[in-house]
Amino acid sequence: MATVTAAERRAEAKRAYDAYVAACPSRKLLDTLSDKWVSLVLNALADGSKRYSDLARTIAGVSQKMLTQTLRGLERDGLVTRTVTAAVPVRVDYRLTSLGESLLPLMAAIKQWAESHIEDVEAARLRYDADSENSP
């Protein structure tokens, strides 16, 4: 039975897409930077070194799992450093690398844009939702 069409087309499309993504690695990096926790962690580290528990407190609502995962990713990507100080209660500090610091202004700008335009956006939402109620 030559019912390969569906499966084959899917596989083909997937390979093509993967190839495209691989050819354009900045896309993957963009995905990483688009992570909601990444921007928050980066902003939290804006003013110098912070301990793990400080970060957890600063970024309200993050689970340790996500925090650890995000920090590991950032460390792997060379955006933050992880410093373990062997003491009675272990102490771990995170700090932006120079690469991370070069990214910080951009993330801060996004955050600031969000804060200063949130009202415009919410107004637009109200207008949109109001219009939607009339048509249906």
Cα R_g (the chain), whole angstroms: 21
Asked whether position 34 contacts a copy of itself by CB under 8 A, the answer is: yes
Q: Which of 9, 10, 15, 36 binds a copy of itself (CB under 8 A)?
A: 36
- Strand ranges across the sheet with 80-85: 50-51, 91-96, 80-85
Q: Which residue's CB is nearer to DNA, number 67 or number 103?
A: 67
> Tokens 């609502």 map to which residue?
61
Rounded to a whole number of angstroms, the minimum distance from the CB of residue 129 to a copy of itself is 8
For 89, list phi and psi in degrees, rounded to 5: -90, 125
> Tokens 């995170």 map to which residue?
94
37: CB partners within 8 A, 6+ apart: 59, 62, 66, 67, 70
Q: Which of 15, 27, 72, 127 binds DNA (CB under 7 A)?
A: 72
Give the footprint of DNA on this chain (CB under 7 A). 6, 9-10, 13-14, 35-37, 51-53, 56, 62-66, 68, 71-72, 82, 84, 89-92
Give the footprint of a copy of itself on this chain (CB under 8 A). 17, 20-21, 25-26, 29-31, 33-36, 38-40, 60-61, 75-79, 99, 102-103, 106, 109-111, 113-115, 117-118, 120-125, 127-129
